[in-house]
Amino acid sequence: MMMSTLQSTGCLLCRGPLDVWYELPHIWHQPKGTPPYAIFWCGNCAFGLLFPCPSQQELDSFYGDNYFARYARESSERYQGQTDFAPVRPSLLDRVRVHVAWRSDRGRPLDTTALSRVIGPGPLRICDIGCGTGRLLADLQAIGHHVVGVEVDENARRRTAAKGIDVFPGYAEALPDEIKGRPFDVVTMIHVLEHCADPLQALRNAAALLRPGGYLAVEVPNNEAISAHRSGPAWFYCDAGRHLNFFTEKSLANAVKSLNFEIVERRFSGYVSVFLNNRLAAERVTWDLLYAGENASLRGRPARNSKRGQWITLARTLFASPPRKYEVVGIIARRAE
């Protein structure tokens, strides 16, 4: 029934057919016995989506009252009880593994430095949709740009406003009236699209804010990464439930280009953290919460991560292409004149 219902809708990007990629007995941070979900995959777009789409009530329970504080607490708690993998006790082999990864890391995050090289010195008008606590905007403001943020989390907005930044409540799919009709030179969406029920509408809204020739900068988890396939739904960046969309370089680029943008630069980052002890412990805890005691025949069920698994991932990724090596993909694109 789930499959036929979703097939009638199809892929959000191309409306093509979808296949089950992962079956989830429940959302990882929700109790056992809560509803099951599945991540469906479009082979044509290299794009996945969570089905059924959680209701607003479910999403509210997934995020809680203070998402950023809750997520930070979860990130810390996910390795409690895994004392043999605690980051304060790395073995010699652990240090060797991380050092080898560090030596081969050529990642380029989509940060203030990366943006500045493309957009120029300014001062420019910049809007960050889903600005969180305003760290990126504060950095951009410090080098002379005129910045404004959009953020749904009230506590995060307060922290952004405390930095002297104008910030308004809203979603990427429903922008606040305060910023509509204000032409911006740059719009950024950093780890936002994966949360959107309608990522194409979110991109259309961002495009509508830009002047002709303006720049759009988008960054998302990269589900083509070898580490993502290794850990499946237990992958640190999967977070199915709060993440509704699962992008790759191909699907992100195609979504952006469909709105009459020219891609200026692709950036990949996120590698060394794959091999840290706290990452391993977090994924093991997530795996236990999802799969311990569950049916072993669940589609896409991965093996529980281990130090041996980390070494195998290191061997497979050292000389891999960027879309396969790195866990995060970013795109800077220019709107047509």
The residue extents of the domains of the chain are: 64-337
**Count of positions (residues) in the chain:** 337
Share of the chain above pLDDT 70, in %: 90
What's the pLDDT tens digit per position in 242-282?
999 999 999 999 999 999 999 999 999 999 999 999 999 99
Q: Which of 6-10, 68-72, 83-87 has the highest mean pLDDT?
A: 6-10
pLDDT-derived band at 60 (thresholds 50, 70, 90) equals: confident
pLDDT-derived band at 105 (thresholds 50, 70, 90) equals: very high
Return mean pLDDT, the chain: 90
pLDDT of residue 70: 54
Query: In 3D, which of 210, 160, 173, 155 has the Cα closest to residue 188?
Result: 210
What's the pLDDT tens digit per position in 1-27?
344 445 556 898 998 899 999 999 999
Whole-angstrom distance, CA of residue 110 vs CA of residue 332:
8
Query: In 3D, which of 106, 104, 107, 99 has the Cα closest to residue 276?
Result: 99
pLDDT-derived band at 90 (thresholds 50, 70, 90) equals: confident
> What CATH number is given for 64-337 in this structure?
3.40.50.150
Which two three-digit tokens encode residue 244? 């509704």
Over 90: is that where the pLDDT of 73 sits? no
pLDDT of residue 271: 98
Q: Cis omega before residue 123 (within 30°)?
A: yes
Integer-rounded Cα radius of gyration of the chain: 20
For residues 173-188, give the mean pLDDT: 93
DSSP SS3 for 159 = helix
Cβ(140)–Cβ(112) below 8 Å: yes
